[in-house]
Structure 1
Amino acid sequence: MDMPKDIIEAIFLHLSTFDIARGRTVCKFWDGVLRNREFLIKHAESNTEDWLALFSHSPVDEKRKLLLYNDASCLWHAISLDFLPSEFTDVIAADGGLVCIAGQFHRVYSICVCNIVTRTYKILPHIDEVPYAGAMIVKKQKVDAECSYEIAVLLVNAVAFTSSSRSTWVKYSTMLSSMPQSPVMCNRVLYGLQNMLSPWKSNWRLVYAKLDDTSCKEVWSELYHPTWGGIIDILHQPCLVESIGCLLLVGGLGHSLTTNSCITLIILKLDLGTLEWSEATRMPQEFYKHFDCNEDLSIFSHNGNVSLFSKAICGHLVCKLADGQSGTLWQWVEGCPLSSYETTFLSKGFLLKLGLDRIS
């Protein structure tokens, strides 16, 4: 006797997204219940778990995995990417429950978009130029059996754009002397740091490109306010990351050319509503001594926090920024799998909200 539909829904709404995906394989009845649009809407509304994802690739046995970390459980999980063609080896972006992976598919640079839970993927239209930086995914708020998404990639002299409803890439030329670094997306706007290549001093400017449903309206305009002065230029090797409703600028403070060292690492916050900068926090010396002038340092954000990880020290540090109720907290993440000498990690981490979307 089959279990009533409402009982099945109630049980699985209290289980993980991976449990739901496995439950679909039990029988046709369960599969129908767990693919029902009403259930998908309920799951999307109740799904609050965010996962930090790091990509690993072992050149010894050619295994590709996503390593997921959850703040609530404080546990790491390894997810195999063996459902993808073996040529796709470089995870370049992730957003929502989707992941973009690139590789030389049939000797041609290609990008595919996939869902690691439903183990479905789609190879995107051919792009005739290797992107300068990673793809950024904008997932529409559509809870259904199908998934809708938009992707923008940075080329040397252009921004290329495609979506789930397009069969080609659309390119928009840029007039910048150098391609923006640390590209991030916040509220459907691309932001980046442009190096003005001054021979005398650090000289950066913040640029942005607006996206709408079908095209780029503005390609790389400067974002500036007279009160800023040279605030961006005081940082050594600045890195731009997106946070909740704001941008964060992370870099070394007080850099010395003589010793090639900094006093500490500082995090600045840009309120996108008021265009005002403020100091979010500085890294305490007991942590900074592990990262000083570490060229193999990766910085990214998740859930309003800032993560730093390095293969050199096999460590993963999280800065939980002050939220008005509690102060800033710096702490090491235990059990970070960076210590595996056979594992190669890409230089970026991603935030994933696991979903049940089917890519087709």
Structure 2
Amino acid sequence: MEESPIYRLSQDSLHQIFSTLPLRQIMICRSVCKLFNQVLSAPCFVDHVFTRSPLHLLALRPPHHHHHHNHRHASSHPCLHAFDPDQSQWMKFNLDFLPFRSPHPVAASLGLVYLWGESPDSPESNKSLVVCNPLTRQFRVLPQLGSAWSRHGSVLVDSSRQVMVLTELAALYFSGAHQWLTFSSNLPSKPRSPILVSDSVYALCDVGSPWRSQWKLFSCTITKLKSSQTWTRLERHEWGDVFDILKRPRLVRGTGNRILMVGGLKSSYSLNTSCSTILILRLDLDSLEWDEAGWMPMGMYRCFQESSKFKVFGGGDRVCFSGKRVGRLALWDHCSGKGEWRWIEGVPGNGDGLCRGFVLEAKLTALP
């Protein structure tokens, strides 16, 4: 067969043609053929188009059991599944460029994905925290941490790429110093759903009794964690019983200087009360005032009533909900200025389990 004329074009000409496309089309063209993949993955092209607007995705973490057990015979093609709410379609990013067994993505920031990975020639308990970009297929291993951090720690990343692993202890990674700073968290209980907003950490802690939970909001700036290591309990008289009306509350980062608190809306204040729906509350950190952001429609909530618990992930104006045997994800989308609810179908692995995830702003970001 006669060779296609496009093969006669120089690489500079191809770069000039493809550089006019948005990032979404560039990623689609990469999968067309080997030539396009080679041309569009070249470092000089990536450097030229790295300012393209990111893809705002909701990425899934692998099933929980894959993280805790040794899967020597697992698929040789690990990948990261992500949903594009703007196009209502699933995407798959191959992670086969990583020399690790069962890579477990847990967080993302500024186009970079952070994951736990175990080296093929090391014990299963010896996991490292790795930062990578699935679009550029680059990665870097962060300084070694003990195995307890990967089993119990929540990985948080801020806009300046400081990485915190928070349990009852916490570790800060400073990209310039290439070392971890370890210290006691000094919290009254294990932090639930910690989030980073600017230079502050927010977490829910149970200050109640063994027979009745009582959740409160705590915060601390990174500067204080490095010096006085003191957390502040955020509360105001005007808040009333805001923490008592939700069952099993979680925090999600909102837009700007706001945080979301999500949980089941209790039908009463009795100990084992049922819930009437799932409620999303929003806290403005500037004014310290709460307002109602949204609540799940009853037709959708009925699918979650039979599940003993549900998981929440997302951020900004989009929050996802998963439950056992639901088979799909529920999405709250406030990007249009009003809270819209819809189902996300086609969840990888049929969605029968509890899905966890994080926000991924995919872009052609170079590693620091």
TM range (shorter): 0.7 to 0.9
1:268 maps onto 2:281 in alignment: yes
- Give unmatched runs, 5+ long, in structure 1: 141-148
Q: Deviations over 1:128-152 (max 9, x none)?
A: 3623332112243xxxxxxxx2200
TM-score, scaled relative to structure 2 = 0.80
Structure 1 position 91, deviation (Å): 2.1
Aligned to 2:6: none
Whole-angstrom distance in 1 between the partners of 2:180 and 2:202: 20
Aligned to 2:188: 177
* Higher RCO (C-alpha 8 Å, min separation 6): 1
Q: Is 1:349 equivalent to 2:330 in the alignment?
A: no
Residues 89-145 of structure 1: per-residue CA shift (max 9 Å, x gap): 3222222211121144422232111111111211211123623332112243xxxxx
Q: Is the 8 A contact 1:189 1:209 kept in 2?
A: yes
Say if 1:21 and 1:117, in contact at 8 Å, map to a contact too: no
Q: Distance in 1 between matches of 2:24 and 2:305?
A: 42
| Other structure's SS at 1:353 match | strand
For 1:118, the aligned partner's letter is T
Query: Deviations for 1:185-220, whole angstroms, at most 9, x for unmatched residues?
Result: 122321100111324543111111212599577543
Distance, in Å, in 1 between the alignment partners of 2:37 and 2:228 is 42
Match of 1:117 in 2: 135
2:62 counterpart residue number: 56
Query: For residues 216 and 241 of structure 1, do their structure 2 counterparts lie closer, same or farther at Cα, with a shift above 3 Å needed?
Result: farther
In structure 2, C-alpha distance between the alignment counterparts of 1:265 and 1:306, rounded to whole Å: 12
The C-alpha deviation readout for 1:275-327, integer Å capped at 9, x for no partner, is 00111222121111111262452112244122112342111111123865xx3
1:154 corresponds to which of 154, 161, 166? 166
What amino acid is aligned across from residue 238 of structure 1 in structure 2? P
Residue in 1 that maps onto 2:90:
76
TM-score by length of 1: 0.82
- Asked whether 1:18 is paired with 2:31, we answer no
**Per-residue deviation, 1:332:** 0.7
SS of aligned partner of 2:356: strand
Is the alpha carbon distance of 1:323 and 1:18 closer, same or farther for their aligned partners in structure 2, counting shifts above 3 Å? closer
Tell me which of 199, 206, 218 is aligned to 1:195. 206
* Contact 2:57-2:83 within 8 A present in 1 as well: yes
In structure 2, runs of 5+ residues without a counterpart are: 1-8
Cα distance in 1 for residues equivalent to 2:174 and 2:102 = 20
CA contact (8 A) 2:155 2:163 kept: yes
Aligned-CA RMSD value: 3.1
Give, in whole Å, the separation in 1 of the partners of 2:367 and 2:54: 22
> 1 or 2, which has the higher helix percentage?
2
Instruction: State yes or no: 1:136 paired with 2:156.
Output: yes
Is this contact kept in 1: 2:117–2:127, CA < 8 A? yes
Query: CA offset at residue 263 of structure 1?
Result: 1.5
With 68-77 and 298-307 compared, the bigger mean Cα shift is at: 298-307
Describe the shift of the 1:49–1:216 C-alpha distance in structure 2 as closer, same or farther (beyond 3 A): farther
In 2, the alpha carbon distance for the partners of 1:176 and 1:15 equals: 43
Number of residues of Structure 1 aligned to a counterpart in Structure 2: 339
Q: Which amino acid aligns with 1:115?
A: N
2:238 is paired with a residue of what secondary structure? helix
Counterpart pick for 2:105 among 67, 71, 91:
91
Identity of aligned residues (%): 27
State the distance in 2 between where 1:340 and 1:234 align: 29
Query: Does structure 2 retain, via aligned residues, the 8 Å contact 1:52–1:350?
Result: yes
The one-letter amino acid paired with 2:304 is F
- CA deviations 1:78-99 (Å, max 9, x no partner) are 2222222333432222222111
Deviation of 1:51 (Å): 1.0
